[in-house]
Chains A and B, each alone.
Chain A
């Protein structure tokens, strides 16, 4: 009994400390400027004025749509491209399968932050600056995705393919109608993860977006900070809440999937 009480106390204190920044952001997004300057923790009344201002001071809605397009595009492409590669490694017996897998996984050691300079030049040469293509294409395949899907495909029984082959089923049809549908839980984990990381990306869109057309919401936030020059923190916090809302909802809904997927990648590795 005593132990349960201690656990609850620890849980509640930790939960308060960890969620405090986000709760404060939500609370501050409803405050007046005076309340923020006074150091209040809760707003005296609820009004959505700050949100209205956040959407008018910068094209926030447009930025949110851009982020959505980019994150969704990367998610779909990653699911298809990583699964295809992983499928070949697991189900198609060919010379060099091990080497290919090793090459793919070895890219986990290449930090994107060490490659972004040259990638920027490449995008510049292609004329892809300020385009969705430039923002998305470099992330269409990741070693993590290929690794995760390989682990998943290895759990599917080989006999399934053997009997399908007897019936004259091609690799591509087997991939589409058996391997993929049977991997739905891991696919959703990878999908959620890809969406989250792309939505949250910062350095790449900072370099690649010089105007509002394709600018993502993360860079929009940086614009808001300088546009509001620090005096209207409530408006900036309304912007923060709008950025956080989609990913937090996704996280709450998909947490169990995500946990299974990430754990599989981490522990079986």
Chain B
């Protein structure tokens, strides 16, 4: 060992430089070897498809992925003029509006009440995060029966207190709301866990000194908890919006996009265009619109919301 160090000190600057470069090269190839599997998978199944989808969106493509003819912008123009695509976009935005704020407010409420020091809290934490373990298929199937027109619990309850039964999944006014309720319920678990983690990161001393200054429960909540939680709230809102744009399974099981396309959310619309109608070109154009939406939303959030976020 000491011999090695001595040898290095004896070396002239030129060969030391060479040694250094050799080591850098060796490090580079070792690093590449370590990253190779990840680069291959992510490159092949995420980067490449994005470019390929963009390419497809300018062509007429059949369901085996063969480009039939160049289409220019006509796939996009077709979507622009298609009333069913417009309905689907409207449903997608409405769905985000129905689900995102409610999910965040309810899970914040749950996180705040389980951050109290009372007995039995672990039990409640498990209960509130349980929907994280509920798959979209299982969750939607449960709600399919809860919202069932004749045997569903919801309608039985309504009938019991003298109201008319509602066609939760068959009326175009209610279907999107029903899918939204299901989605909010399914997303609570994840958001609850993240927000609770954020709450527990806030130091207890802050609350203690606030109490010494005579701050009450609500003052503490709005002057300490919410501002200090804002980075986590920011993260949660980005993720929840993106998730809402990606919803698929609950639509497939609950409504199949109907009635009258009122729940034909964008991913479902892409799926139908490609796998029911066999138009991969227009489906790709829709996928690019979804990609652009997610990208723009994330950038806007980073630009405008992050400025207002407090960091500890």
Binds A, one of B6-14, B71-79, B128-136: B128-136
Grouping DSSP codes into helix (H, G, I), strand (E, B) and loop, the A interface class, with mixed when no group exceeds half, is: helix
Smallest CB-CB separation from A25: which chain B residue? Answer: B142
Are B132 and A251 closer than 8 Å at their CB atoms?
yes
With an 8 A cutoff between CB atoms, is B287 at the interface? yes
Are B185 and A21 closer than 8 Å at their CB atoms?
yes
Are B35 and A100 closer than 8 Å at their CB atoms?
yes
With an 8 A cutoff between CB atoms, is B274 at the interface? yes
> Which chain B positions have C-beta within 8 A of A14?
109-110, 113, 124, 128
Binds B, one of A43-51, A54-62, A109-117: A109-117
With an 8 A cutoff between CB atoms, is A156 at the interface? no
Partner of A196, one of B133, B245, B288: B133
Smallest CB-CB separation from A248: which chain B residue? Answer: B133
Once bound together, how far apart are the Cα atoms of A221 and B134, in whole Å? Answer: 13
Are B249 and A203 closer than 8 Å at their CB atoms?
yes
> Which chain A positions have C-beta within 8 A of B70?
none
With an 8 A cutoff between CB atoms, is B253 at the interface? yes
Chain A contacts with B in 211-263, Cβ cutoff 8 A: 218-219, 221-222, 225, 230, 233, 236-237, 239-240, 243-244, 247-248, 250-252, 255, 258-260, 262-263
A183 to chain B, nearest CB (A): 15
A15 to chain B, nearest CB (A): 4
Are B30 and A251 closer than 8 Å at their CB atoms?
no
A191 to chain B, nearest CB (A): 15
Grouping DSSP codes into helix (H, G, I), strand (E, B) and loop, the B interface class, with mixed when no group exceeds half, is: helix
Size of interface on A: residues with Cβ below 8 Å to B: 96
Partner of A233, one of B130, B145, B201, B232: B145
With an 8 A cutoff between CB atoms, is B31 at the interface? yes
Q: Please give the residue numbers on chain B whose beta carbons come within 8 Å of chain A beta carbons, in ascending order.
A: 1, 24, 27-28, 30-32, 34-35, 37-39, 41-42, 44-50, 52-53, 56, 64-65, 109-110, 113-114, 116, 118, 120, 123-139, 141-146, 148, 150-151, 153, 156, 185, 188, 190, 193-194, 196-198, 200-201, 217, 231-232, 235-236, 242, 245-246, 248-249, 252-253, 267, 270-271, 274-275, 280, 283-284, 287-288, 290-291, 294-295, 298
25 contacts between A and B (CB under 8 A): A7-B118, A81-B38, A89-B35, A93-B27, A104-B38, A104-B42, A111-B245, A113-B248, A114-B53, A114-B288, A115-B50, A118-B48, A121-B64, A137-B41, A141-B42, A143-B42, A175-B34, A200-B134, A243-B138, A251-B132, A252-B126, A259-B193, A262-B193, A266-B194, A267-B231
Q: Please give the residue numbers on chain A whose beta carbons come within 8 Å of chain B beta carbons, in ascending order.
A: 3-4, 7-8, 10-11, 14-15, 18-19, 21-22, 24-25, 28, 36-37, 39, 41, 80-82, 84-85, 87-89, 92-97, 100, 104, 107, 109-122, 124-125, 137-138, 140-143, 146, 166, 171, 175, 196, 199-200, 202-203, 206-207, 218-219, 221-222, 225, 230, 233, 236-237, 239-240, 243-244, 247-248, 250-252, 255, 258-260, 262-263, 266-267, 269
